[in-house]
Amino acid sequence: MADIPLYGAIPAGFARERQQEAKGCVSLDLATLGFRPTSRTFALEVRGDSMIGRHIVDGDVVILEHGKTPRNGDVVAALVDNESTLKTFVQEHGQAPYLRAENPRYPRLHPVGELVIQGVMVGLVRKCGRKNAE
């Protein structure tokens, strides 16, 4: 078993200013997880519907690795101009990277100032039988 720290929630919708704080742990079987977590592995609860095209829905818990370099198409937790969000990392033809929602209702996020990748998604946990959050 591995205990992965859960640092609150992350918007999967419009980016918002947010402070992360420890909210407990997610305990997972290492065989089910498929990799060995490090001291840089953490979890966030998803809030919103901008990633439904990647089958990431409100209430899911994403498992992320801090310090991992994102590749084109990776799902990332990021700070875009100091606002937190969960999106797909896109870098095309040597251009500056941007973040793409996986729901056509949301725009691409091109940082005006700064894009900081907080973690690259390495796993997803979905609780069955949960009520949908409003």
Cβ-based neighbour number of residue 126 at 10 Å:
12
Annotated catalytic residue 39: no
Residue 126 corresponds to which tokens in the numbers above? 């979905």
Annotated catalytic residue 27: no
**129 conformational bin, left if phi > 0, alpha if psi -120 to 50, beta if neither:** left
Active-site option among 27, 87, 127, 131:
87
- Is pLDDT of 118 > 90? yes
Region 29-39 average pLDDT: 84
> Which domains are seen in the chain, by residue range?
2-125 (2.10.109.10)
Active-site option among 23, 27, 39, 50:
50
* Distance (Å, whole) CA 67 – CA 76: 11
Region 53-76 average pLDDT: 96
CA dihedral 97, 117, 85, 91 (to 10 degrees): 20
Question: What's the predicted TM-score (pTM) here?
Answer: 0.86
Indicate the DSSP class of residue 74: -
